[in-house]
A and B are shown apart, each in its own frame.
Chain A
């Protein structure tokens, strides 16, 4: 097999950006995607069929006091997890990047908001975000959004009254979903099928923007190509390519000058750990011993309530309609330093994990029917997102007793919340219920606590003893081995990760292109 300039493991948010930018710069690029090919027409509008695009790869056992969610948030096939993401694209705030220095808690990023700002600006222009920057009083400095905000429906308007009565501000939720036609893609239809994948590509999943660009520039996406290891030179100072198994189960080697592992927060560390050699027994790029450490998630919950008015909860987008970040700024005087935000007015479907029936899992029988009839018309909801602090004991390790069908150990993740995470979450749901009551909801309750998003596992930093990669995702140990995606995040912040994944990845892509000769 011919040597390519770049082999990218994974076709999700970060892999697609890298493939586009590197192939446009003239590099030969192959993406190895473990799952099947997905096209827009495959994205059936059904919460049952939507499960096809969630994780079907090798199992990750998940445990600990508060197990991280694996399958629901992961992706299988073209576009990876971001094929079914909800496109809530928010910037991290300045104090999300240096919380260790400022507050003595968490970790510092190796970059500041100012380092990332131009990349946020460029990505939002390329992808398209709908929102109202002036209404987002909490928003860090940045270019205004290229599209006006999406429409607001009755559900969000009703909940907003509660925020106002509590003296809390809201703004339109910035979404990477078109409110008007943008770059040849259509405007949102407000049908609430985001979780099943947006088939009209109004939502900026990888099928909409960067994978078409990558293909046009010559990048190859090789589906059903399950990467098991990154291969290193005999002395371990360079990587030489990747080992994978094709759809027929045949072992293949793809030689590459640069390898980028962008396989989400569970498979990325697993592949590096499985790539151990006689010289690097603990895994590739793992001289720090931190590959698999600092696994993170967001603590989340939904507030639910009934309104006398009909809420039109079937209209809109799953991510929500309005935003409130009134308690985003980190303030240890609250008793915890964690940031929080509210995503207000999420579109609902009757079934599935986040559906109407799931809001009251205690109900069954005719009581559940009665609930469904009322809730379909009168239920409203909003989502709490709470930052979780990085903890080195939250980790992903190899389970030497369990293997995939090619004989490679499976992963096992353990996770627990810190006391600060719990205090933050409890304050959040208390506040959320008060807001709903102020809005006039006549029944109010909070859902179970949900683990939302997966981050960490291969964190970046300036010190090779306390991190695995530098700020570009280049591993400290091996100059032509890179990592991309949320695995790099040293802290979770409280914003949804996808916009930052894109911005960090764009920065890395530029660095690779500009310094190519030093890596390859």
Chain B
């Protein structure tokens, strides 16, 4: 089994999975879930809003409580009213991001793919998976240029925008650009764009208490987050 250095290059072997275990619940779980982003303090130190320190003391009594299921030991800091944050992506870009999300992980759009990314891009310090990539450019440009490049690939290959492709065509396109960057790709490396947006889809679908429940994995929070993101 090969092992390689870039997130852009992946393993070649596929696990021998039992198809009987297929228990896709994405179309059953929270299809109409709405997520209200909170206003949060700016972690970067600019334009600060002070977080209310609801929990500052942890007592031995609290510590002795057993963590189980989705219960949490501590209460999270209280949420702030929703803020008007800048919309980094256009409606069309959000539509395309949702289509991409559902290709990468069916159900991601309903779980909030574009709302999540758009909201995080509007924050000074986003919680996006992209942060871990040490990407040198702007996060907003990463998504805008990546989506634009993806749409261009779709038009070159299928003469239609990405959102109008059928599921098979979308998957074929994604598979190709996930493995090798097309010669005429203009944007962040296609392999990185795939890796990051796939990470976003997994975040919104499986990285929340609802997502853990989809896998029948106990969440076991010590401090429940004030919102999914």
Q: Do A and B come from one complex?
A: yes
A residues contacting B by CB (< 8 A) are 34-36, 39-49, 51-52, 54-56, 59-62, 66-67, 69-72, 76-77, 181, 184-186, 189, 191-193, 198-201, 224, 226, 247, 249, 301, 306, 314, 349-353, 355, 357-358, 360-374, 376-377, 429, 433, 442-449
Partner of A43, one of B16, B18, B171, B223: B223
- Flag B1-22 by CB within 8 Å of A: 1 or 0 each: 1111111011111111111011
Which chain A positions have C-beta within 8 A of B55? 39-41
In the bound complex, residues from chain B placing their C-beta under 8 Å from that of A193 are 220-222
A35, B202: Cβ atoms closer than 8 Å: no
Separation of A36 and B221 alpha carbons in the complex (Å): 23
Given known A-B contacts A365-B104, A369-B22, A370-B17, A353 and B3 have beta carbons under 8 A apart = no
Find the B residue at minimum CB distance from A313: B217
> Which residues of chain B come closer than 8 Å to A49, judged between CB atoms?
127, 225, 229
Q: Known contacts A35-B45, A361-B10; is A200 also within 8 Å of B222 by CB?
A: yes
- 5 A-B pairs, CB-CB below 8 angstroms? A41-B58, A45-B224, A56-B131, A370-B17, A372-B215
In the bound complex, residues from chain A placing their C-beta under 8 Å from that of B64 are 186
Q: Which residues of A contact B228 (CB under 8 A)?
A: 46, 48
Q: In the complex, which residues of chain A have a beta carbon less than 8 angstroms from the beta carbon of B125?
A: 52, 56
| Cα–Cα distance between A48 and B202 once the two chains are bound (Å) | 11
Contacts A200-B63, A372-B206 given; does A45 touch B77 at CB 8 Å: no
A interface, by DSSP: helix, strand, loop or mixed? loop
**A191–B73 Cα gap in the complex (Å)?**
12
Contacting pair B132 A369 (CB below 8 A): no
Cβ–Cβ < 8 Å partners of A72 in chain B: 132
Report if B149 contacts A (CB, 8 A).
no
B23, B26, B66 pick with most chain A CB within 10 angstroms: B23
- Contact call B132/A201, Cβ cutoff below 8 A: no
Distance between Cα atoms of A48 and B53 in the complex (Å): 20
Is A69 a contact partner of B134 (Cβ separation < 8 A)? yes
**Smallest CB gap from A186: residue in B:** B63
Whether A41 and B74, one on each chain, are in contact in the complex, defined by CB atoms closer than 8 angstroms, is yes
The answer on a CB contact under 8 Å between B7 and A448 is yes
8 more contacts with CB within 8 A, not counting A51-B128, A374-B21, A448-B3, are A41-B77, A52-B125, A71-B132, A185-B63, A314-B217, A364-B103, A367-B17, A372-B215
Q: Evaluate contact between B5 and A66: CB separation under 8 angstroms.
A: yes
> Hey, which chain A residues are within 8 Å of B19, CB to CB?
370
When C-beta atoms are compared, the residue in chain A nearest to B175 turns out to be A364
B225–A45 CB distance below 8 A = yes
Verify B9–A350 contact, CB threshold 8 A. Answer: no
- Indicate if the CB atoms of B216 and A376 lie closer than 8 Å: yes
Q: Is B72 an interface residue when CB atoms closer than 8 A count as contact?
A: yes
Contact A373:B215 (CB < 8 A) given known A40-B58, A45-B222, A48-B207: yes
